[in-house]
């Protein structure tokens, strides 16, 4: 590759890296749409590792106040580990966008998706 081509390649690469860096810095400045939940009790279901996971979500004062397991076929021990970690995180963050529990990823994701499913009926923008 000639020196001119190497210089052009390096310049284009630098511009690309700069654009990505600036874009990631700007992301927090973009306002997100707030979701308000209607008070009530909602059920949601999602596929887990061994079958469906069903949860009951209670919304009080427009916030998620409790999440209760209603049905599942997950392996004992694994489900409880995911249930404790994921539910606590969802309640703390008021969001289903939380980290999965290591060693119980599929079950963690099922809990998050089941809560999302329940909140579809409670959500109003």
* CATH number of the domain encompassing residue 105: 3.90.1010.20
Q: Are 115 and 83 in contact (CB under 8 A)?
A: no
CA dist., res. 53 & res. 69, Å (int): 8
Per-residue pLDDT of the chain (125 residues; tens, 9 = 90+): 566 666 666 655 665 555 565 555 554 555 455 678 999 999 999 999 999 999 999 999 999 999 999 999 998 888 899 999 999 999 999 999 999 999 999 999 999 999 999 999 898 64
Query: Does one domain contain both 86 and 58?
Result: yes
Q: State both tokens at 37.
A: 């939940």
Whole-number pLDDT of residue 4: 63
Whole-number pLDDT of residue 36: 82
Query: Does one domain contain both 9 and 44?
Result: no
Whole-number pLDDT of residue 125: 44
Whole-number pLDDT of residue 38: 94
Whole-number pLDDT of residue 42: 97
Query: Does one domain contain both 67 and 94?
Result: yes
| DSSP string over the chain | --HHHHHHHHHHHHHHHHHHHHHHHHGGGSPPPP-EEPSEEEEEEEE-SSSEEEEEEEEETTEEEEEEEEE--PPTTHHHHHHHHHHHHHHHHTSS--PPPTT-HHHHHHHHHHHHHHHHHHEE-
65: nearest Cα among 97, 33, 35, 94 = 94
CB-based contacts of 70, cutoff 8 Å, min separation 6: 43, 54, 55, 56
Q: Which domain does 21 fall in, by range? A: 1-30
CA dist., res. 52 & res. 20, Å (int): 39
Query: Does one domain contain both 54 and 99?
Result: yes
Query: Does one domain contain both 54 and 15?
Result: no
Query: Does one domain contain both 117 and 63?
Result: yes
Whole-number pLDDT of residue 21: 54
Query: Does one domain contain both 47 and 98?
Result: yes
Query: Does one domain contain both 11 and 49?
Result: no
* Number of domains making up the chain: 2
Query: Does one domain contain both 9 and 68?
Result: no
């Amino acid at each position: 590759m000639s020196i001119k081509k190497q210089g052009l390649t390096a310049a284009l690469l630098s511009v690309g890296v700069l654009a990505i860096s600036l874009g990631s810095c700007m992301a927090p400045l973009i306002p997100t749409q707030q979701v308000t939940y209607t008070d009530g009790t909602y059920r949601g279901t999602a596929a887990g590792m061994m079958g469906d996971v069903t949860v009951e979500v209670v919304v009080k004062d427009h916030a998620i106040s409790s999440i209760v397991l209603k049905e599942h076929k997950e392996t004992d021990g694994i489900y409880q580990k995911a249930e404790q970690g994921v539910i606590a995180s969802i309640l703390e963050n008021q969001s289903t966008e939380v980290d999965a529990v290591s060693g119980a990823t599929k079950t963690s994701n099922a809990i998050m998706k089941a809560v999302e499913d329940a909140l579809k009926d409670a959500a109003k923008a």
